[in-house]
Chains A and B, each alone.
Chain A
Amino acid sequence: MTTGERSDTERKRRSPRFVRLECTARLHKLMTRYYAYARYMPRLGKKIAWITSGGPVEPLYAAGIIPVYPENHGAMCGASRMGPKLGEQAEALGYSRDLCSYARCDIACAVHGGGPIGGLPRPDLLVCCNNICGTVTKWYEVLARHFNVPMVLIDTPYLHDGQLPDHTSRYVRAQFDDLIEAIENVTRRRFSERRLQRAMGLSLECVQAWQRVLGYCEHRPAPITCFDAFAHMAPIVTLRGTRWAVRYYRHLEAEIAQRVERGFGAVPEERHRLLWDNIPIWYDIRNLFKHLAARSACLVADTYTNAWVMDRFDQRRSLDSLAEAYASIYLNIGTPQRFRQVAELARRFSVDGVVMHSNRSCKPYSFGQLDIQRMIRDELGLPCLMIEADMTDSRSYSREQVRARLDAFLETLEAAA
């Protein structure tokens, strides 16, 4: 047996087990309830709105409309490894393989049905906020034509310097009036400002709880990894603005606090603390965890789950405040500002290196990464690795190549340590 083979065997032998959070069962129950609720409540007259992940969900919850997230559905398609099959179905409809794989999966499911949960319930309204990308505008235009339902676009101009000028703020705010009007048309009820304030309060509570959950990774060893965060982010995306999500994150927080008290580390013998940039590679999450954990590396922070920390809500200024918060999110700001946020995460979570996912499906998240990578190296003095993949479509992924690059990167970290 060669040294390399021996070392591989040893690693396999001591390959750490992914210790699930006990809350995972609760999460599954919650998400099953949510999707069942969305599927069956329309029979009782409830309305459904499909909304982008960075869209303002609070007015929907305030009006009793059930929001459904095609991007969350795309992530489920990826995690259940259905991306290539659904992607091919979309390509057969004429959609280029170069388009976002979330969009391709979702459009395929909308047209043909299928997918991990048998498709999403039919929408009565589409709410698209382009603060995350321009792709969603085109994607929702396709959906609006397919379902023949109204689409509300909230256009949030890009903030190159991170500042929100008054005229931008007014423009975004004016479009929220359209959203309210569309909601009133769909529900045939007058919109309640009081309920909106309540939903905003719950959203803020939820976001703060989520921030605390992620913040526990400041501890050494980190009680959870980003892989846990990726799994447990579903409620912050889909149920932000409800009691369900607040309750859920309280339970999660309590469990993680117990882990910290016990000195439990998600990765045994944690040696290398890493920061992840971009959307996860959903279909290979578990393998990546095992691969990194076997080398004592732990992903302790990421820019993706930290994007749902919109904590600038001011309930007294309800719609004005929502407009400002949603116009200023991570993906809607310039590269230098994004680097500053990465630097802040790196400092706060004491990371030893950064792994960037150059994601073929997400141009706004990925373009600029090469500059951010240089800044991380030059200004923070941290090693930074870039791997190329696609968040959902495994046809654009070479697992062995990624593993080899991770190994080489970790060896560099080991040498530096």
Chain B
Amino acid sequence: MSSGPTSDRPSALETLRSAARAPAEYARSWKQRTGRPVLGTFCSYVPEEAVIAAGALPFRILDVPGEFGAADPRLQAYACCLARGALALGSSGGLAFLDGVIFSNTCDTMQCLSDIWSANVCGGSPGDVETFMMPIHVGHAAARDYLLAEIERLVASLGARVGTSVEPAALGRAVADCRTARVALARLLEVQQGPSPVLTPPQYYDTTMARCVLPPDEYTSSTTVVLDDPQPLDRVGPRIVIAGGPMYAPVLPDLLAELGACWVADDLCTGHRAAAPGPAPGDDPVAAIADGLLSRPQCPAKHRTGHDPGRAVVERARQAAADGVILYRLKFCDPHAFDYPRIKEALDAAGLPSLLIEVETPAGSVGQLRTRLQAFLEMLADAGVSEVCT
């Protein structure tokens, strides 16, 4: 597995791919190589800068199994597959390389999962679980002060965990590094949504998912190589935008590639939403983290007065000159399910064809998914979009 800087496009893409496709292996090898701790997170709102400044690697727990047997005695079957899969993996020792997990109050399920995790994965000791409370009311004037206090609390707690206080200078460096990585990803996504996309759907998946595991400097160097040598795709099929929650298996991108479609943009928490660089940081790193989190594109689990999820997805699709939109959600994901009717209504009004894909597990039902995608892409072809390869 590559760990050093990459100089050519294929090896840069391979670095991104190997991290995206085998994140746990990457994290284990990083830990072995550096001797430093790895801290798991579930939500992109957990400030990675705080983890990095504490000398640890933030590892977003997404690569979870579709078998939930070990989770069933602890969590009901009407929880989403991410929560159940992670709990199954954690309960059976599959995340033993982690030195702790930081939970955020992403949704009701994740909020409850943190206590379940403490009781079951940590053997009843909450010591291996940190909580970070992100304000839901992100547009409120008081949210910033609250968030500043939460970030400071987390930074102090992580410092205590690693046995040293986290210096402001270290936090400042982490803020700068993470922002550089986000800027690199945002630039790449900007190119991708332009007239000449440069990533195939699997490469798009790898590039965004690798951001969830690679340290920012390594990520930036790989992404910069791709940006410097963009190589537009030869054939561009129907331009697809994918909007929804976390997509943590490459089944859908692989199928899009197989069927000749081009994934040009996303509104996912593993992609565009987490890639937003935020405002340029000032002297205070804690304030920079808070301002970055508060200014992100809206997550459906957060509230901002006047936000219209339908308008947001339509705008995203128009920016990318999309031919169609795939609305992707995990079964039992309430925040996304509540937004669906409004998004569908807005897309219909804008004349943008859409397809809802709800998955029990992201890696399951490939055959059924292929059939539905084929039908959707054929419909786009009938509507006048050329070069559909089925």
- Which of A's residues lie within 8 Å of B, judged by CB? 93-96, 98-100, 103, 130, 133-135, 137-139, 141-142, 145, 151, 153, 155, 157-158, 160, 165, 167-168, 170-171, 174-175, 178, 334-336, 358, 360, 363-364, 366-371, 388
Contact B305 A151 (CB under 8 A): yes
Q: Which of A98, A151, A165 has the most CB of B within 10 A?
A: A98
Cross-interface CB contact of A160 among B74, B79, B131, B143, cutoff 8 Å: B131
Given contacts A130-B136, A138-B339, A171-B135, contact A367 B142 (CB under 8 A): no
A42 → chain B, closest Cβ, in Å? 24
B115 and A335 contacting across the interface, CB-CB below 8 Å: yes
| CB nearest neighbor in A for B105 | A158
- B128 touches A (CB below 8 Å): no
- The 19 sampled A-B contact pairs (Cβ below 8 Å) are A94-B340, A103-B338, A130-B136, A133-B108, A134-B108, A134-B335, A141-B338, A142-B341, A153-B137, A155-B137, A155-B303, A160-B131, A168-B133, A171-B135, A174-B142, A175-B142, A363-B108, A370-B74, A388-B76
Q: How far is the CA of A388 from the CA of B72 in the complex (A)?
A: 14
A288, chain B: closest CB distance, angstroms: 21
Question: Interface of B with A (CB < 8 Å)?
Answer: 73-76, 78-79, 105, 107-109, 111-116, 119-120, 131, 133, 135-137, 140-143, 145-146, 149-150, 300-301, 303, 305, 308, 331-332, 334-335, 337-342, 344-345, 358
Closest to B112 in A: A367
Contact between chains at B334 and A367 (CB < 8 Å) = no
Please state if B131 and A368 are interface contacts (CB–CB under 8 Å).
Answer: no
Contact present for A175 and B140 (CB under 8 Å): yes
* Residue in B73, B108, B308 whose beta carbon sits within 8 Å of that of A135 in the complex: B108
C-alpha spacing A157/B358, complex, angstroms: 29
Given contacts A153-B303, A171-B143, contact A96 B79 (CB under 8 A): no
Known: A153-B137, A371-B74. A363 touches B331 (CB 8 A): no
Name B344's closest neighbour in chain A (CB-CB). A94
Report whether B338 and A98 are in contact in the complex, using a CB–CB cutoff of 8 Å. no
Note all chain B residues with C-beta closer than 8 A to A141.
Answer: 303, 338
A335 to B117, CA, bound (A): 11
* Known contacts A93-B341, A96-B340, A151-B305: A137-B136 contact under CB 8 Å: yes
Which single residue of chain B is at the shortest CB-CB distance from A150? B305
Distance in angstroms from A8 CB to nearest chain B CB is 32
B358 partner residues in chain A, CB cutoff 8 A: 96
Contact B78 A363 (CB under 8 A): yes
Contact A155 B342 (CB under 8 A): no
CA distance A168 to B150 in the complex (A): 9
Which B residue's beta carbon lies closest to that of A132? B108
Instruction: Tell me, in angstroms, the Cα distance from A130 to B113 when the chains sit together.
Output: 18
Q: Quick one: which of A95, A141, A334, A370 has the most chain B CB within 10 A? A: A141
User: Is there contact, CB below 8 Å, between A171 and B120?
Assistant: no
Known: A98-B78, A171-B145. A367 touches B108 (CB 8 A): yes
Chain A residues with Cβ below 8 Å from B339 are 138
> In whole angstroms, what is the CA distance A93 to B149 when docked?
41
Shortest Cβ distance from B13 into chain A, in angstroms? 37
State the CA gap A133–B338 with chains docked (Å).
14
Complex Cα–Cα for A384 and B176 (A): 53
Given known A-B contacts A157-B105, A367-B76, A171 and B142 have beta carbons under 8 A apart: yes
Query: CA of A160 to CA of B105 in the docked complex: distance in angstroms?
Result: 10
**Do B334 and A170 have beta carbons less than 8 Å apart?**
no
CA gap between A133 and B108 in the complex, in Å: 6
Cβ-closest 8 pairs across A and B: A94-B341, A174-B142, A367-B112, A138-B338, A167-B149, A171-B146, A335-B115, A155-B137
Contacts of A137 in B (CB 8 A): 136, 303
Chain A nearest CB: distance from B31 CB in Å? 27
Closest to B308 in A: A145
Residues on B with beta carbons closer than 8 Å to the beta carbon of A160: 114-115, 131
Q: How far is the CA of A142 from the CA of B341 in the complex (A)?
A: 9
| List of B residues within 8 angstroms of A366 by Cβ | 76, 78
A130 to B79, CA, bound (A): 19
CB-based contact A360/B78 at 8 Å: yes
Given contacts A94-B341, A138-B338, A157-B105, 9 further A-B contacts (CB under 8 A): A95-B337, A95-B338, A134-B111, A153-B137, A157-B146, A175-B142, A336-B115, A367-B109, A371-B74
Among B145, B150, B301, B338, the most chain A Cβ lie within 10 Å of the Cβ of B338
Closest to B109 in A: A363
- A367 with B337, Cβ < 8 A, contacts A137-B136, A153-B303 known: no
Interchain CA distance A387-B101 in the complex, whole Å: 31
* CA–CA, A371 and B118, complex, Å: 11
Q: Which chain A residues lie closer than 8 Å to B116 at the CB level?
A: 335, 367-368, 370-371
Neighbouring B residues of A145 by C-beta, 8 Å: 308, 342
Query: CB distance B119 to A138 under 8 Å?
Result: no
- Within the complex, what minimum Cβ distance (angstroms) separates B147 from chain A? 9
Whether B112 and A157, one on each chain, are in contact in the complex, defined by CB atoms closer than 8 angstroms, is: no
Q: Which of B79, B115, B142: most chain A CB closer than 10 A?
A: B115
Chain B nearest CB: distance from A367 CB in Å? 4
User: Shortest Cβ distance from B140 into chain A, in angstroms?
Assistant: 6
B131 touching A98, Cβ below 8 Å: no
User: Are B135's CB and A155's CB within 8 A?
Assistant: yes
Residue contact B115 to A174, C-beta cutoff 8 Å: no
The CA of A175 and the CA of B113, in the complex, are separated in Å by 27
State how many angstroms separate the Cβ of B389 from the closest Cβ of chain A: 31
Docked-complex contact A157 and B133, CB < 8 angstroms:
yes
CB contacts (< 8 Å) of B150 on chain A: these are 167
Instruction: Determine the chain A residues whose CB is within 8 A of the CB of B137 once the complex forms.
Output: 153, 155, 175
Bound CA span A158–B300, Å: 18
> Bound complex: CA of A369 vs CA of B115, how far in Å?
11
Kindly state the separation between the CA atoms of A360 and B109 in the bound complex, as whole angstroms: 12
**Complex Cα distance A160/B344, Å?**
36
Cβ distance B141 to chain A, nearest Cβ, rounded Å = 7
Task: Give bound CA distance, A145 to B109, whole Å.
Answer: 25
Closest residue on chain B to residue A177 by CB atoms: B142
* Smallest beta-carbon distance A110→chain B, Å: 13
CB nearest neighbor in B for A173: B142
CB distance from A73 to the nearest CB of B (A): 18
Cα(A374)–Cα(B141), bound, Å: 42
The distance from the CB of A90 to the nearest CB of chain B, in whole angstroms, is 9
A46 to B135, CA, bound (A): 33
Q: Which of A99, A135, A155, A366 has the most CB of B within 10 A?
A: A155
Determine the residue in chain B with the shortest Cβ distance to A171.
B146
Q: Does the CB pair B335–A174 fall under 8 Å?
A: no
State in angstroms the CA–CA spacing of A121 and B12 once bound together.
60
Q: Of A142, A360, A363, which one neighbours B342 at CB under 8 angstroms?
A: A142
CB-based nearest B residue for A140: B303
Contact B78 A99 (CB under 8 A): no
CB of A370 within 8 A of CB of B76, answer: yes
> Is B340 a contact partner of A170 (Cβ separation < 8 A)?
no
In angstroms, Cα B365 to Cα A416, docked, is 48
CA distance A336 to B120 in the complex (A): 13
Are the CB atoms of B115 and A370 closer together than 8 Å? Answer: no
